[in-house]
Structure 1
Amino acid sequence: MALGLWAVPAAATSCRDLVHDGNRYTVCEVDLAREELRLFLNRPDGSLYGQFSSVEADLRPEETLTFAMNAGMYHDDRSPVGHYVENGEELMRVIPNAGPGNFGLLPNGVFCIREGRADVIETLRFVDEAPACRYATQSGPMLVIDGALHPRFLEDSTSRYVRNGVGTTADGRRAVFAISRNAVTFHEFGRLFRDELGLPQALYFDGNISRLYAPGIGRNDPGFNMGPIVGVVAPSGS
């Protein structure tokens, strides 16, 4: 007699290199219906993760890290600049007001991870809606807001850095992470998410210190300790 078995979907993080308007990027897509996306800041003993290798080392033996990226701006002590929630616990409140630097260039936003979905939400909308995020990280500026580029982005800007960020689909089922492989402007980076990736909402994570862990394509970027890290945790061997 045949036994009916529940099918367990394999991890589906897909990373690829692409060129848009002459700039080179690596893009990784996460299917929230099939993959577990988490944020990591401090280890159980209170010390900082800081590195992708530390996150991997603290996972259970049956788990593995299949993708990771720095996920929001942080202070010198690596604590988050803005709102931060990890496994349902709020570690930093929402910062709704304008301020210095890229983070305070409103509108900024929050990357919110819930069961089976993830969303980039503009900060004031986030405050109004108050979604129950299992994980959340605030950063800024927004790159794309309801299909439009951030109004402060200049097409002729000369400010260029290696940059990384995330965009989400309208239904929240797909999160698309991108990191530039050469220095780009905000305008160019925003257009990647809007025009090439077709995403209605996208959020800037950081620049210059941007790093990617994607063993499937041989990426494990070295560097100084980071603050918040976003990563996909999958069953070992998947």
Structure 2
Amino acid sequence: MRWMTLATLSFLGLFSGVAGAAERCEPVDHDGNRYIVCEVRAGQDDLRLWLTAPDGAIYGSFDRLNRTLADDGLRLGFAMNAGMYHSDRTPVGLYLDRAGQAGKLVTSAGPGNFGMLPNGVFCIGPEGFAVLETRRFADSPPVCDYATQSGPMLVIDGELHPRFLVDATSRYVRNGVGVSEDGSRAWFVISDRRVTFHEFGRMFRDGLGTPNALYFDGNISRLHAPGLRRSDWGLPLGPIVGTVVPIDEDHAGG
């Protein structure tokens, strides 16, 4: 039934009303809450992770990242924060991008949302995308061109995280990522209002039908989506995930 839901969304052209293949971002209503969902397709969209700028400083914002990309004739198609970070904005857990590895895989339980096991890793590999529970990732590491660890897992093999309570009162603007079973598609989601973990997890499991999904963060969650004329401001960011597209006249400057 979950995959019928996802197929129905695609059939109705949910992501057809935006400019450019790498800017499939649209509002979606689920269980009384509204979310922005950005779809990315393996082999079609150029999805990357970023942390450190060429001068060695952490990017920290969509605007600075966009200015750097412009030097190569590129801009962000969409972007969002991509994992938890320390006060100096370095990643809490594993982080891997073109510059190398900036953090180590953390397999032990710990404080806060990151340490609420099971947590997980989002992997961008040569064959597609994956969201894997951290200890499963450690036991059999996949090939990843980019990877970011965060937590908790929102959906694990089709089930919500066992610590999510339907009557929970903790609410934040939250964002995360879910991946299709075959790894060919990833959906990046941010809530428009404050939601509970249970509500957010159900969006991935029931609204999008993703068998596995990973929480990125809450409270500081931000989105850059020029197709929706949106680019959020706020505190400096750590890891950023997004697509790149060539600069064109309609969207120059992003």
TM-score normalised over the length of structure 2: 0.88
Which residue identity is paired with 1:117? G
- Structure 1 residue 45, shift from structure 2 partner: 1.2
Change in 2 beyond 3 A, CA 1:77/1:230: same
Which residue identity is paired with 1:87? R
1:21 corresponds in structure 2 to 31
2:105 corresponds in structure 1 to 94
- Structure 1 residue 88, shift from structure 2 partner: 6.5
1:229 corresponds in structure 2 to 240
Matches of 2:103 and 2:72, distance apart in 1? 30
Segments of 5+ residues of structure 2 without an aligned counterpart are 1-19
- Identity among equivalent pairs (%): 60
Pairing 1:42-191 to 2, within 5 Å after superposition: 42-59=52-69, 60-87=71-98, 89-191=100-202
User: For 1:79, what is the secondary structure of its paired residue?
Assistant: coil
Superposition RMSD in Å: 1.2
TM-score normalised over the length of structure 1: 0.93
Which 10-residue stretch deviates more, 195-204 or 11-20? 11-20
User: For 1:112, what is the secondary structure of its paired residue?
Assistant: strand
- Structure 1 residue 223, shift from structure 2 partner: 0.6
Matches of 1:212 and 1:235, distance apart in 2? 19
Greater than 4 Å deviation, 4+ residue runs: none
Tell me, yes or no, if the aligned pair for 1:120 and 1:168 is still in contact at 8 Å.
Answer: yes
Matches of 2:186 and 2:139, distance apart in 1? 22
Tell me, yes or no, if the aligned pair for 1:50 and 1:226 is still in contact at 8 Å.
Answer: yes
Q: How many residues align?
A: 229
User: For 2:201, what is the secondary structure of its paired residue?
Assistant: helix
Which residue identity is paired with 2:27? D
Segments of 5+ residues of structure 1 without an aligned counterpart are 1-9
